[in-house]
Amino acid sequence: MADYDAMVALFDELDEFHRQARPDFFRRFDGPVRTREQIAQWLAGPGSTVLAAEDDDEVIGLAVLLTRPSSAFAGAVPRRVIELDNLVVRADRRGRSIGHRLLRATMRWARGQGASHVEVAVHAFNRDARRFYESFGFAPSIDRLVLAA
């Protein structure tokens, strides 16, 4: 929690990227959208965590990992899924394999949780992120289509 302000700055960078790409989906908000209480809950929860990448005791990247509840659908194969909710590397530190190291740490943590799968959702506009995850071995599973009513 001592790194809260640095984490919020990274979330702000990620949120601004999304707002610029999809202002119809994402808007500015007052205060940090990830409160101290929310981050503390992720850190304390048995099925969630926040991984941080540091350089000289400075947080330069993070990954939020959440255990997703099992599907209630009786026809679904039982799986223990870790959702990679957010992964962000500070813009001035990208291209230095920090994201790859965070993703490898994500996989280690997920295996330690007994996960059968790690899933990540990527917005269609974020082609760079999709290439990044696919280069790591992630494969498309479902496409969500949207139509304004």
pLDDT at 45: 87
Q: What is the DSSP string of 77-96?
A: PP--EEEEEEEEE-GGGTTS
Indicate the pairing of strand 81-89 with strand 117-119. Answer: parallel
Residue 62 tokens read as 């993070």
Instruction: Please give the model's pTM, rounded to 2 decimal places.
Output: 0.91
* Domain CATH code at residue 114: 3.40.630.30
Residue 77 lies in a domain: yes
Tens digit of each residue's pLDDT, the chain (149 residues): 889 999 999 999 999 999 999 999 999 988 888 999 999 999 998 899 999 999 988 999 999 999 998 888 999 999 999 999 999 999 999 989 999 999 999 999 999 999 999 999 999 999 999 999 999 999 999 999 999 89
Residue 140 belongs to some domain of the structure: no
Q: What is the pLDDT of residue 1?
A: 83
Q: Is residue 144 part of a domain?
A: no
Does residue 148 lie within any of the structural domains?
no
Q: Which range marks the domain in which residue 33 is found?
A: 4-135
Residue 147 lies in a domain: no
Domain count, the chain: 1
Residues 6 or more apart whose Cβ sits within 8 Å of residue 114: 80
Q: Say if 97 falls within a structural domain.
A: yes
